[in-house]
Amino acid sequence: MAKTSTAGDKAGATDLQQRKGRSVPELAALLVFLVGLIIYFSFASEYFLDVENGINILTTLSVAGILAVPGTMLLIAGQVDLSIGSAAAFAGTILGVYAAKTSMGLSITAALAVGIIVGLVNGFLVTKVQVNSLITTLGTLAILRGLCYIVGGGQTIMVNDFTFLGLNRPFLNLPTSVVVFTVIAVAGILVMKYTTFGRSLYVIGANPAASRLVGIRNSRVIVISFVLSGLATAVAGLVLTSQLSAAAPMAATGLELSVITAIVLGGASLNGGRGTISGTIIGLMIIGVLNNGLVLLNVNTFWQDVARGTLLIIAVSFDQFRERWAAKRK
């Protein structure tokens, strides 16, 4: 068994080295694009470089960022979670319903438990029932959105005295949501870089059959990844509810589009086996800066959806081109 584990570590280490070699130029190109956007909007709007506007950008992308970290882990493993927006809204709804009846501590616990359960259900269906993750999470997306209306009575639920996660600024004048996102992002980077679990995700995404042969328990790793995603949706739902001081059944609608766009834009492959948390963060920054800049220029908000959709198509197209180029070089 010790030899098997060593083989798994070696396979993961080899894949990790290859991934690093490919990711450096990609991250450099992303950074150049991000800097270009910042330079353009700084000239286009006198308010863009304001410190408060910078904090506003970070605050806006923090919810998507919390979801994007485990989302990146899943995509690296060849899986996807499209239920994150609905799950975040449902966690917020659970908080709102319980907060009206019991203590805030129990309400938060219930919301976090819901997120974990959603992750377990998604993981079970994907690994044990063998339903494709795209179909599984599309189904739970619809189910959870419907439950938001059923449990919440179709109404927006006001949540009083719950601003510390969204509006308070406990550290360096940064909102708590930004601090939470930063902690999760750093933890994600460390996990992917220095742990067997992180290396296993790369190996599973690159070659599921080979990963089993070297002793990696694919199902267990994938279930844990879905549970982490579910837990992140609960945290994101709590942050969003805190920011709005309310739980709305339509909250976080379309959030999965921004998250997946950031992950793919950051260099993760839809085929699995490649991606970094650092790349995803840069992708998030690009989306955040673009959306903020368009708002400052008084561009119609519908064009922001057009921009996000265009970015997603460009990112996926580039990913496919990159896969074909890599296949030709072999």
**pLDDT tens-place string over residues 70-116:** 999 999 999 999 999 999 999 999 999 999 889 999 999 999 999 99
Encoding tokens for residue 248? 């709305």
Which residue did the predictor score with more confidence, 149 or 22?
149
What residue ranges do the domains of the chain occupy? Answer: 2-322
Rounded to an integer, the average pLDDT of 226-240 is 97
Total-model pTM: 0.89
**13 has a pLDDT exceeding 60:** no
- Residue keyed to tokens 């899943």: 74
Distance from first CA to last CA of the chain, Å, rounded? 33
User: Is 105 exposed, middle or buried (CB count within 10 Å of its CB: 0-12, 13-18, 19+)?
Assistant: exposed
Tokens 């198509």 belong to 313
Contact predicate 162/245, CB 8 Å = yes
Instruction: Round the average pLDDT of the chain to a whole number and report it.
Output: 89
Count CB atoms within 10 A of the CB of residue 46. Answer: 9
158-193 pLDDT per residue, tens? 998 898 888 888 878 899 999 999 999 999 999 999
Count Cβ atoms below 10 Å from residue 125 Cβ, excluding itself. Answer: 19
Distance between CA atoms of residues 201 and 62, nearest Å: 24
Q: What angle do CA 282, 317, 185 make, to 5 degrees?
A: 20
What band does 117 get if pLDDT is binned at 50, 70 and 90?
very high
Q: Do residues 185 and 277 touch, judged by C-beta distance below 8 A?
A: yes
Place domain 2-322 in its CATH homologous superfamily.
ABC transporter involved in vitamin B12 uptake, BtuC (1.10.3470.10)
| pLDDT of res. 304 | 79
Measured from the Cβ of residue 115, the count of other Cβ atoms closer than 10 Å reads 27
**DSSP bridge pairs for 246:** 158
Instruction: Quickly state the pLDDT bin for 30 (edges 50, 70, 90).
Output: confident
Residue-wise pLDDT tens digits, 267-289? 898 889 999 999 999 999 999 99
pLDDT band at 20; cut points 50, 70, 90? very low
Residue 142: its H or E element: helix 133-151
**Angle at alpha carbon of residue 197, lines to 233 and 265, rounded to 5°:** 55
Query: Quick one: CA torsion of 11, 16, 17, 20, rounded to 10 degrees?
Result: 160
Amino acid at residue number 99: A
Q: Is the dihedral of CA 189, 223, 197, 109 positive or negative?
A: positive
Mean pLDDT of the 43-68 span: 94
Q: Which residues pair with 171 in a beta bridge?
A: 174
pLDDT score at 135: 97
